[in-house]
């Protein structure tokens, strides 16, 4: 087994790339991996100079195979609830990042790997990869948000079909039901994520944060409450330098130069 860090964080301008770095284990989620990932997510959350985040996996076999079953087989039973809480908390950390997030799935994404993708805002899947919440085939259930987040994307009836039958979907079918946004040519999920990043970063970074907050914050509110929440998110943008820069750039027929202020 490699001595390399199980998760790496690389900066590329205003973007952060988080890579699950256990290709020999299909980037499975061990407890040390989850602990380090949560630390890095906290670092990203606190860094206003990071405007967007990509999560991907090392190698070309798997984005993430889910929980590390080799670790789980020897894990004392009284530790299992702690592990489940940690994996769920990790997905919640991803979902609650203020920055837009992209899952660049360079290979298969099963179980916890699929749940990680569900916690991201945008999802790209390699055309040769498969995705699914397959936990019931292991006599467990998705326990890191899959039973909650999947119905939001595909509807309750489709989510029940996928989870109860432990179905594995190819990229084209996953895109057709709205589970993934884009299908990348073989081996080019990261490259396609870079293109999506470039498109994101043409927009105001504070506006991206506010729009994400308005969408997520309105999901569990009444329409009236959600509209009020949206208005509050909009209010945060009004005094920003970026909004004035966008207006000036429009008038001067040039691309805006956003500063994240």
Name the residues annotated as catalytic.
Answer: 67, 112, 115, 135
* Number of Cβ within a 10 Å radius of residue 138: 13
Output the furthest CA–CA distance in the chain (Å, rounded). 65
Q: Tally the C-alpha atoms within 13 A of residue 148's C-alpha that lie toward its C-beta.
A: 11
For the chain, report the end-to-end CA distance as a whole number of angstroms.
44
Please answer whether residues 19 and 4 qualify as being in contact, where contact means their C-beta atoms are separated by less than 8 angstroms.
Answer: no
Phi/psi zone of residue 170: left (φ > 0), alpha (ψ -120 to 50 degrees), beta? Answer: beta
Total residue length of the chain: 261
Task: State which H helix or E strand residue 223 sits in.
Answer: helix 223-237
Please answer whether residues 207 and 201 qualify as being in contact, where contact means their C-beta atoms are separated by less than 8 angstroms.
Answer: no
């Amino acid at each position: 087994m490699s001595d390399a860090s199980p998760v790496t964080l690389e900066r590329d301008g205003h973007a952060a790339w988080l890579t699950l770095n256990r290709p020999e284990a299909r980037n499975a989620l061990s407890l040390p991996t989850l602990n380090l990932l949560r630390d890095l997510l906290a670092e990203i959350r606190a860094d206003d100079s990071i405007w967007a985040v990509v999560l991907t996996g090392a190698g070309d076999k798997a984005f993430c195979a889910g929980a590390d079953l080799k670790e789980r087989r020897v894990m004392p039973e009284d530790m299992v609830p702690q592990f489940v809480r940690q994996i769920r908390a990790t997905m919640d950390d991803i979902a609650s990042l203020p920055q837009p997030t992209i899952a660049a799935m360079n290979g298969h994404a099963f179980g916890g790997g699929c749940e990680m993708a569900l916690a991201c805002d945008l999802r790209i899947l390699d055309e040769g990869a498969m995705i699914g919440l397959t936990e019931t085939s292991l006599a467990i259930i998705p326990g890191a948000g899959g039973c909650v987040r999947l119905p939001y994307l595909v509807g309750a009836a489709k989510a029940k079909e996928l989870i109860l039958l432990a179905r594995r979907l190819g990229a084209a079918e996953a895109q057709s039901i709205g589970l993934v946004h884009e299908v990348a040519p073989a081996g080019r999920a990261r490259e396609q994520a870079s293109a999506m990043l470039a498109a994101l970063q043409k927009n105001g970074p504070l506006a991206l944060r506010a729009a994400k907050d308005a969408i997520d914050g309105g999901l569990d509110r009444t329409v009236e409450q959600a509209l009020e929440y949206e208005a509050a998110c909009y209010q945060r943008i009004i005094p920003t330098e970026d909004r004035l820069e966008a207006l000036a750039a429009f008038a001067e027929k040039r691309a805006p130069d956003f500063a994240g202020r």
